[in-house]
């Protein structure tokens, strides 16, 4: 079991993600979504809810036990403010999950990792949280070059519709330690690569609507329906 300073890891990922967004993100993506300008008189953006589950670590990666969870948490922080999804992070301590366990609606083992390999379980949990979409992922590969003080982290994710249980989008990204990094400790080098991967995921997840969204919008217009109304925030999102 590999143990690390988790707080230090999260801080490192957060800092490098901020830097990475300056280079991989478009002007519309912004930095953490906080500095986007808003035009006066513009209509409020339509959003849907998205729950991000802790990422799993592939067995071959030999990473710290909490690495996948920390990366997913960093992605949640990065996507905290955007005009497409209301994003929150999954934990079995969320009120609807705790209530379902207490009522016997779900078993305790059905609320814990791994998540990426069991989409059906995640769909059930996402429905309890009233989420429109869920995101599951796995850290697929990790390579460390101690000579050049560089690392790369490969992450795969699936964006799944809670309503249909179908995958709306699949992404595979590889984050790398920026050239010229002066840090020499493996933990910091790995965090830099993870931050780069997180920034890429955020951009690709938000760069365009999923095909499911487009089809739904097109059908609504054909049927004479207007724009989809913003959803109300589920009670569980107070833990965001």
Domain boundaries, the chain: 6-22+46-207
Identify the pLDDT of residue 104.
95
Give the confidence band of 9 by pLDDT, cuts at 50, 70, 90. low
Q: How far apart are CA 41 and CA 61, in angstroms?
A: 50
Identify the pLDDT of residue 14.
54
- pLDDT tens, 123-133? 999 999 999 99
Percent share of the chain, pLDDT over 70: 65
Q: How far apart are CA 94 and CA 51, in angstroms?
A: 12
Q: How far apart are CA 87 and CA 237, in angstroms?
A: 8
Identify the pLDDT of residue 11.
52
What's the whole-number average pLDDT of the chain?
77
For the cut 60, the answer to whether the pLDDT of residue 5 exceeds it is: no
- Pull the structure tokens for residue 210: 């999923």
- pLDDT tens, 148-185? 889 999 999 999 999 999 999 999 999 999 887 767 78
- pLDDT tens, 111-123? 999 999 999 999 9
User: Contact at 8 Å (CB) between 87 and 236?
Assistant: no
Instruction: For residue 41, report the phi and psi dihedrals to the nearest 5 degrees.
Output: 85, 0
pTM: 0.71
- Rounding to the nearest 10 degrees, give the CA dihedral for residues 67, 72, 77, 83: 160
Q: How far apart are CA 188 and CA 194, in angstroms?
A: 10
For the cut 80, the answer to whether the pLDDT of residue 102 exceeds it is: yes
CATH 3.40.50.10610 fits 6-22+46-207, yes or no: yes
Return the ∠ at Cα 115 (arms to 114 and 116), rounded to 5°.
110
**3-state secondary structure (DSSP) of residue 68:** helix
Identify the pLDDT of residue 208.
57
Identify the pLDDT of residue 139.
96
For the cut 70, the answer to whether the pLDDT of residue 233 exceeds it is: no
Identify the pLDDT of residue 43.
46
């Amino acid at each position: 079991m590999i143990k690390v300073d988790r707080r230090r890891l999260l801080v490192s990922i957060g800092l490098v993600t901020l830097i990475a967004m300056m280079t991989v993100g478009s002007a519309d993506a912004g930095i953490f979504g906080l500095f986007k300008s808003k035009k006066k008189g513009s209509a409020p953006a339509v959003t849907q809810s998205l729950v991000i589950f802790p990422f799993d670590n592939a067995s071959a990666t030999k990473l710290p036990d909490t690495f996948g969870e920390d990366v997913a948490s960093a992605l949640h922080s990065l996507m905290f403010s955007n005009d497409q999804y209301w994003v929150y992070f999954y934990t079995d301590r969320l009120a609807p999950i705790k209530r379902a366990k207490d009522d016997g609606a779900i078993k305790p083992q059905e609320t814990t990792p791994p998540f990426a390999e069991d989409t059906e379980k995640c769909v059930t949990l996402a429905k309890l949280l009233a989420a429109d979409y869920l995101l599951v992922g796995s850290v697929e590969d990790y390579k460390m070059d101690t000579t050049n003080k560089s690392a790369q982290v490969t992450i795969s994710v699936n964006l799944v519709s809670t309503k249909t249980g179908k995958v709306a989008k699949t992404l595979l990204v590889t984050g790398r330690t920026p050239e010229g990094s002066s840090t020499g400790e493996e933990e910091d080098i790995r965090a830099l690569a993870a931050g780069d991967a997180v920034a890429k995921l955020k951009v690709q997840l938000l760069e365009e609507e999923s095909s499911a969204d487009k089809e739904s919008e097109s059908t609504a217009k054909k049927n004479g329906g207007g724009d989809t109304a913003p959803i109300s925030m589920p009670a569980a999102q107070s833990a965001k």
